[in-house]
Structure formats: structure tokens, C-alpha cells
Amino acid sequence: MAGEAGMFTVQQTVGTVLCCKCGILMAPNAANMCVKCLRSEVDITEGLQKHLIIIHCPECDCYLQPPRTWIKAQVESKELLTFCVKRLKNLNKVRLIHAEFIWTEPHSKRLKVKLKVQKEVLNGAVLEQAYMVEYVVQDQMCESCSRVQANPDQWVAAVQLRQHVSHRRTFFYLEQLILKHDAAVRAIRIKQLDRGIDFFFSNRSHAVKFVEFIQKVVPIKSRHDKQLVSQDSKSNNYNYKYTFSVEICPICREDLVCLPPKLAANLGNLGPIVICTKVSNNIALLDPLTLRHCFLDAEQYWRTSFTSLLSSKQLVEYVVLDVDPISSEVNVGGSKYVMADVQVARVSDFGKNDTIFFVRTHLGHLLNSGDYALGYDLHAANSNDMEIGKYKGLVIPEVILVKKSYEEQRLKKRGKRRSWTLKKLPIEVDVSDTRGRVDEEKMDNEYEQFKRDIEENPELRFNISLYRDKEYQPSEMGSVTDGEDAPSVPFEELLDDLNDLRINDGAADVDGQDDDDDEDDDDGGMKE
């Protein structure tokens, strides 16, 4: 502005001095030497380690942190970079600015890390220099892996999960929870049995931690015992094998339950015919005729220990003839319901008789005329539950609808691949405890039903991880369907499988400072 007004201005210039060693022009600094001369006089990386040996377990992909700690880290991850930097001695004599991996051949057994450090040198001048550290990776199995390789059955603690029901839906769901939270990462062996799964651990504390995790996600009761393996009376050392017996509550989602009279009275005369809507560390029960609900924790359940009146395998398909809502939408325990009077008929009765049932249901917000629904046929059911006989004058409804059926819509999509997939635990199947092909087909059908439950229930998807299927190819032409389509998992809820992605975390800012300058990657620089 002063120039535009015609005033005299003094131009700002940057002063230069001659280097005291080579005599070239340079910006002034505290040492009065250029960068090249200063590097020739002082090497700030002198005395720092540039070669190191690290121990790696090839079985569990862990690295030894002396003296006896094993750290799990993936190649070129931030965890491995932090581990490598912390192994260097005398690094506290300089200031670490940046660290990153340099790519090496996977079979070379070498890791190279480029470090950028700063240090104050002559007369307060700060010199910055980059150098490379080479790590030689030596393979050596850790204690637990060595024990497993020597004898796979050499376990210290075993957790026996059992559930006395005719299906494995609970174990499918539990498997996904275990995978998401890495609860069984310390298990040396997992074995599948007829009514449950056995987990074997090399340490008792790992088994205790696993049982505590199971207790947080499902209602259980457990007991433990130990067996003496060997002893040394002179040193007073004893070796035990520990066994944890865990029984999971037999009440599953969508089961029909008749509450014991004493429990129903304690819950405010709820039911007594109720539906189990959700199972976590609590059991959620809903009265479909009044929309009253309650939650039972593990202690309350095992105090009475009732069983299911009917299970999901006994669901019957009905066709909805008419729907008459009698209430507005109600939020019950986080789920929305609408009471309605519905006329339904069994699909199996078509062409045989004209039997129509008039029922009251909590699914008025989902059902329309012409839809299909799954429910329990109490009119024709033959139940030997002792709890029903304890109620005098109890009026049992002929039909209790549980959920909407999408079987007709699924028939149109039969043979099409899902866009998502699930991970599985490395479970060994006990051949002596199965019936071969019969059990395999039964397992496949139950797993398919579990996948359908995931698609229909967003609350079920909230606690598990779904991954994109790499082999899925969407159809170029959208399918034209009449009416409502079968439920599916939204694509934005799916995760990428990290095992198939290249981890690009090689460059990491170890001391928490950003590398905000775009300097050349030469061997040095100088700052004031």
C-alpha cells in the first residue's frame, strides 16, 4: 500500500554469510557452517544401534519383548513399528522425529526402519539426520506354541460349553461374538461336540477370562473342578488340570414359554404364556396379548429353571386374511409393536378345510392381508408342560403369531449369492460323536436359518461383524418383484476383510508429532 501511495519503501532482503569451511554463500546459523560441512564434522547417529536381532514366533505371529513377554503384531503395522523403535538403545540421546518401514522381501527375514532424528550440535545449531536400522528376524516358537506342537492335548484348562436344546443357533451367534471380541484368541484347540463346544487353553487365567466373557453375553451357570497331574513334594509344586463346566440357558429367541405360577406372580402376574424376544445376559419376555414385558437375569432364571413350551422348530406357517389394528404403535423394550386382531388360516389346510382362526397379535405393524406369518399352533399342539397344569381356568389362545414369513420372497431369490459372509472359528468336529451326512445336512440347514435371522433382525446384526463377499457380483439388471422384497443386509453395514487388504501403516509418527514439512528425503538437514 505504501508503494501505491508513492512512498519510499525499503526492500526486505535475506542476509547471507560465507561458510567458515568451504566459503560458499549460506543462510546464517549458529555454527556458521553449511549443512554439508556440518555433517562432515558431526555425525549425530554415532553410537546409535543400526543392527539388531528380534525373535519371532511363526505359529502365533508374536515377537519377543525381553525377557519373557510376547507381543502380537502384524507385518508393517504400527504395533510392530513401536516395538522395533523401543528395542533400540541410546535413542534417548537424540530427538526422534519420524519413523517408517522400508519395504523388504518377505522371505529375506529382514526388517528395515528409516528413522529421522534431531540433535543440538555446535553453538546451539540443531542438526536433523535420517538413518536406517536393519532388524534380523529369527524364528523361535514361544512356550505355548512349543507345548502345542509337542503334544496338542497338553492343555491346562478346558471350558465345556453346553446347551440342552435340539439346535445350534445359540452357538452360531456365540461364535460370531467370540470372533468379534477375540475372546478365544488364546485357545490352543476348539472341539465341537453334539450338544456344545469345548475350548482348551494353556493357562488357567485364559480360561477364567473366557468364562467371564461368556457370562457377559448369555445367561449361564458354571462350576469348576481340578485334577492333580503331578507333584513335587520337595519343592511343594503341584500341577493341575482345570475344567470349567458352563451350561447355557435353554431358552432361545422366539421360544414360547409358560412361566411358573410363582415367577409369574413375582413379575406382576405377567402372562403366563409369553414369547422370548431377545437373549443376551438377560432374557427378554413379552406377553403378545397385552404387550407387557420383563427381563430376567441369569440368577432369576436359574432359581426357577423353566423350559420352553414350544421351540422355533415347531413354528407353523399361516396366511393372513384380515388385519384390524386396535392400538397405536407402542415402543416395548426398544422394539415397536402394534396390537391387532387378525384372521389367519393354516397354509397346510388350503384345499382341505375352511378352518379360520381369530387371534390377537403384537405384529400389527408388519402384517397385511395376503402376507404369511409363522406362529405356534396351540389348537393342535400336544404339550406335556407341567406348568400349564398348575393354572386353573387358564384360557389358552389357539394361535400365537411370532414373526412375519418371507418364504415366498426368498423363493424368487433362491440360488443367488449373498453379498456378505461370516467368519468361522477353527473348530474340530468329533467324528465319533456325529452321524456323518445326516448331521452335516442338519447343520447346513440351521446355519442357513441363522443367516436369515441376521437379515430379518437388525438388533442381531448390531453385535456381530458382517464382511463383504469378494466373489459376490451384483446383477446388472435389477430384479423386478411384485410387492415387498425379502429383507437383506444393507451394503453400508458390511466390513472389508482386513486379511485381504494391504496394511499401509508403515509410516508412523512415533513421538506423536506430525511431519508437516515436505523436505527431500536426503541424509540430513539443519534447523535453527
DSSP assignment of 212-273 equals HHHHHHS-EEEEEEEEEEEEETTTTEEEEEEEEEEEE-S--TT-EEE--HHHHHHTTS--SE
Is the per-residue pLDDT at 503 higher than 60? no
Q: What's the length of the chain?
A: 528
What sections of 322-399 are H helices per DSSP?
A: 386-389
pLDDT at res. 216: 92
Neighbours of 466 (CB within 10 A): 21
Asked if 362 and 288 count as a contact pair (C-beta separation under 8 A), the reply is yes
Residues 223 and 215: their CA atoms lie apart, in Å, by 12
pLDDT at res. 305: 85
Question: CA dist 17 to 23, 31, 254, 285, Å?
Answer: 9, 11, 85, 85
Asked if 293 and 333 count as a contact pair (C-beta separation under 8 A), the reply is yes
Residues 258 and 309: their CA atoms lie apart, in Å, by 6
Is the per-residue pLDDT at 141 higher than 80? yes
Residues 164 and 308: their CA atoms lie apart, in Å, by 11
Higher-confidence residue: 35 or 296? 296
Asked if 490 and 458 count as a contact pair (C-beta separation under 8 A), the reply is no
Asked if 164 and 311 count as a contact pair (C-beta separation under 8 A), the reply is no
* Residue 152 pLDDT level (bands cut at 50, 70, 90): low
Closest CA to 309 of 394, 357, 381, 219: 381
Closest CA to 335 of 278, 281, 295, 290: 278
Residues 240 and 229: their CA atoms lie apart, in Å, by 5
| Average pLDDT of the residues in 319-331 | 88
- Burial, 151: exposed, middle or buried (Cβ in 10 Å; 0-12, 13-18, 19+)? exposed
Q: What is the pLDDT of residues 396-445, one digit of tens each?
A: 888 999 998 888 777 777 767 888 888 889 888 866 655 555 578 888 88
Higher-confidence residue: 22 or 240? 240
Three-state SS at 195: coil
* Long-range Cβ contact pairs of 396-400 (< 8 A, separation 24 or more): 396/273, 397/273, 397/289, 397/359, 397/360, 398/357, 398/359, 399/318, 399/344, 399/357, 399/359, 399/375, 400/256, 400/273, 400/275, 400/288, 400/359, 400/361, 400/375, 400/376
* Residue 19 pLDDT level (bands cut at 50, 70, 90): confident
**Confidence (pTM):** 0.70
Please report how the helices 204-217 and 169-181 are oriented relative to each other, as an axis angle in degrees rounded to 10.
Answer: 120
- Burial, 333: exposed, middle or buried (Cβ in 10 Å; 0-12, 13-18, 19+)? middle
Residues 6 or more apart whose CB falls under 8 angstroms from that of 276 comprise 251, 252, 253, 254, 255, 256, 257, 283, 284, 285, 286, 308
pLDDT at res. 53: 94
Q: Using the structure block, give the residue that is written with the C-alpha cell 388360516.
A: 345
Residues 341 and 322: their CA atoms lie apart, in Å, by 8
* Long-range Cβ contact pairs of 432-435 (< 8 A, separation 24 or more): 433/193, 433/194, 434/194
Asked if 71 and 79 count as a contact pair (C-beta separation under 8 A), the reply is yes
| Average pLDDT of the residues in 271-285 | 90
Residues 6 or more apart whose CB falls under 8 angstroms from that of 323 comprise 340, 341, 342, 364, 367, 368, 369
| Average pLDDT of the residues in 292-303 | 90
Please report how the helices 169-181 and 437-456 are oriented relative to each other, as an axis angle in degrees rounded to 10.
Answer: 70
pLDDT at res. 388: 80
pLDDT at res. 214: 94
* Three cell numbers written together for 137: 528376524
Q: What is the pLDDT of residues 67-120, one digit of tens each?
A: 888 988 888 889 999 999 999 988 888 899 999 999 999 889 999 999 999 888
pLDDT at res. 516: 42
| Average pLDDT of the residues in 180-198 | 88
Three-state SS at 524: strand
Question: CA dist 506 to 1, 35, 150, Å?
Answer: 49, 29, 36
What are phi and psi for residue 200, nearest 5 degrees?
Answer: -115, 135
Q: Does 67 sit behind a cis peptide bond, omega within 30 degrees of 0 on the bond before it?
A: yes
Three-state SS at 122: helix
Mean pLDDT, the chain, whole residue set: 82
Asked if 199 and 184 count as a contact pair (C-beta separation under 8 A), the reply is yes
Closest CA to 89 of 128, 127, 117, 47: 47
Q: What is the pLDDT of residues 24-64, one digit of tens each?
A: 888 777 777 787 787 777 778 888 889 999 999 988 889 99
Is the per-residue pLDDT at 121 higher than 70? yes
Q: What is the pLDDT of residues 239-271, one digit of tens each?
A: 899 999 999 999 999 999 999 989 988 988 887
| Percentage with pLDDT > 70 across the chain | 87
Q: Which of 78-82, 318-322, 485-489 has the lowest mean pLDDT?
A: 485-489
Sign of CA dihedral 329, 335, 341, 343: positive
Three-state SS at 35: helix
Neighbours of 205 (CB within 10 A): 11
Residue type, 38: L
Question: CA dist 2 to 7, 10, 13, 14, 474, Å?
Answer: 5, 11, 18, 21, 67
Is the per-residue pLDDT at 511 higher than 70? no
Q: What is the pLDDT of residues 448-461, one digit of tens each?
A: 889 888 888 888 88
What are phi and psi for residue 38, nearest 5 degrees?
Answer: -65, -35
pLDDT at res. 6: 67
